[in-house]
Chain A
Amino acid sequence: MTSTDRKAHNALKTCWNCPSINLAGKVDFRACGQAAEGFDKDTSAGDQLMAECKRRPGLGLFDPMAITFEECPEWLEGPYGFMLKDMRVMILGIDGYLGWTLALKLGRLGYRVSGVDNYSRRSWLAERGGHTIVPIARMTDRLHAASEVLGVNINFRAIDIYRERERLREFLDEVKPEAIIHYAECPAAPFSMIDLDHASFVQENNVLGTLGVLFMMRDILPETSLVKLGTMGEYGAPLTGRPIFEGVFPADAVLHWDDRQWSLGGEMTPRDPVSFYHVSKVQDTFNVYEACKYWWLRSYDIMQGIIYGVHTDEVSADPRLRTRLDVDEWFGTVINRFVSQAVIGYPLTVYGSGEQTRAFIALEDAMQCMVRLINSPPEPGQYGVVNQMSGYYSVMDLAKTIGRVASQEFGLRVTIQRLENPRVEADRHPFEPVFDALPDEFGFQAQHAPEDVVYEMLKLLTEPKIRARILEKKHLICPSTWWSGAKKQARRLEVLEETTYG
């Protein structure tokens, strides 16, 4: 549809959503998410809650609902809805798979991008003896290439968000980002299950790193929107088959008990995390939710499906701009692993029956979602949850899809092996995720199906230099980290030849 027959998803948002607004007048901070009583922060503007534009202070105090993004000269229409002119976006974890990709995309769209990272993903891989199979440049070279090739200048500082809180606070205060994208966590379930040290590290790093960011936002950036990465794995897969809602129950979900009934609307749905890493994400969810309740912070908590892919226009523009791709047993996600296995003729590693069903989203689609979320900031105190995914598939079906594309398009001979499942998870389970908010409220439309992305990936990964890098780390493919604590290679249960699955 064109913009003439349908407005951008955020056209009618107002200053109430805008991070460039100071609230003045009767601003209540509450100690409870449903109680409407609190204390007044400031009553200088009288009884009414008013807005003051940081960009146009000459406007004085005005009704925060009076001006829409469409009407405001600071918000310009772009490919993903209206965007705040020169919006300052800080990416925590900018050196990672997603952080780097998003930085380049935002930079190309005209955002003023800053970012921090402590290169921990690089060190975790080094600790396990692995490496990114798509080679990535050092940060200084990345930044130089971004500027030279794309004209994108990124304000980067090497900071550990948990262990260098003062430095992070100084950088936040200096940049004053209008949106913070929080990707700075350790994203690996198996890594958290290696031993007590790793479990403690992941939980401490993720939970306390995020907690610090929340307190800093309270103190210096209360109007900034926080877009925080969670995971669909926080929910687990309830065996009743009830839908996996977007964070909270809808109003028509009713609890019946003892001949009485109550609407569960707006209450958090149960979480059933599937590793100590996932537990850290659940703890984050509650910390962010509480911070929004106590301090009127604004946040979108993204329950992201399993991500896959290597391509965006920006990362493919120059070898120095490539984003990392991990395929080892700890950091590799399933599609990325299967594609790399197909490239070197290693039987695709399906755990257990392979009937586990998971939510997925392609890298490019995830980036589209992020830009749309940044462009439509939450309201004061709003803790919003979105299930960021474009489809759901069983692991075995994905293995077969990858096998088909690899054999038909690239002449590779692909077999699938079923291994003992080192994880504790249900092999067979119902799975009905709800993922309506991004399409309905943010105008998101998925543009990439697994087949197309797998084709793109195979094109890159079959390049001799990259194929050699996969082969070099072949010994890190087969899982050896067991949820039980055992340390042993998973045994093969069955091999499916090309002819049996094709």
Chain B
Amino acid sequence: MGRVAHVTAEAFESLVLRSTLPVLVEFWASWCLPCRAVDPVLNQLSQELAGCVTIAKVQVDQNPGLREAYEIHGVPTFALFQSGGIVARSVGSQSKGQLLRMIDDALESG
């Protein structure tokens, strides 16, 4: 645990939708510079939030079905999943502080 999970369409249901923990999913692409820039932040969050929130990544080019299902129009899109649904989302690069706030706000109000 404590590592960023790379999730494909096949594993999405079991690892994200049916997860007992909230899951922060980054929809990303290999050609997206902001997606690469946020990698170190996601690695830190996966360590620091281990046991509370799972951090996962979905590559949109290889998982077009997920891209369409969740209406991803820009990358990176960060979506926080809880009990199978999205409780918060934001588009574009996010700092660690912004991601933490997004998670805190969503989970407190939920």
Contact = CB atoms under 8 A, between A and B. Distances in A.
B52 interface: no
Nearest to A40: B64
A48 B62 contact: yes
Interface in A237-276: 248-254, 261-268
A296 B34 CA distance: 16
B35 A266 contact: yes
A35 B34 CA distance: 12
B9 to A, nearest CB: 9
Interface string B26-63: 01011111111110110000000000000000001110
**Which DSSP category, helix, strand, loop or mixed, fits chain A's interface?**
loop
A314 interface: no
A113 B93 CA distance: 40
Contacts of A380: 30-31, 61
Contacts of B64: 26, 47-49
Interface string B89-110: 0001111111000000000000
A252 B99 CA distance: 11
B67 interface: yes
B37 A251 contact: yes
Contact of B67 (A36, A65, A248): A36
B61 to A, nearest CB: 5
Given A249-B37, A251-B41, A36 B95 contact: no
A37 interface: yes
A483 interface: no
Interface string A26-54: 10101001111100000000011100000
Contact of B73 (A33, A37, A268, A378): A37
Given A34-B74, A35-B73, A251-B96, A267 B62 contact: no
A91 interface: no
Given A48-B62, A263-B93, A30 B37 contact: no
B23 interface: no
Contacts of A235: none
B75 interface: yes
Contacts of B32: 33-34, 266
12 contacts: A33-B32, A36-B60, A36-B67, A36-B73, A36-B74, A47-B65, A251-B95, A261-B98, A266-B36, A381-B29, A381-B30, A383-B33
Interface of A: 16, 26, 28, 30, 33-37, 47-49, 63-65, 248-254, 261-268, 292-293, 296, 378-384
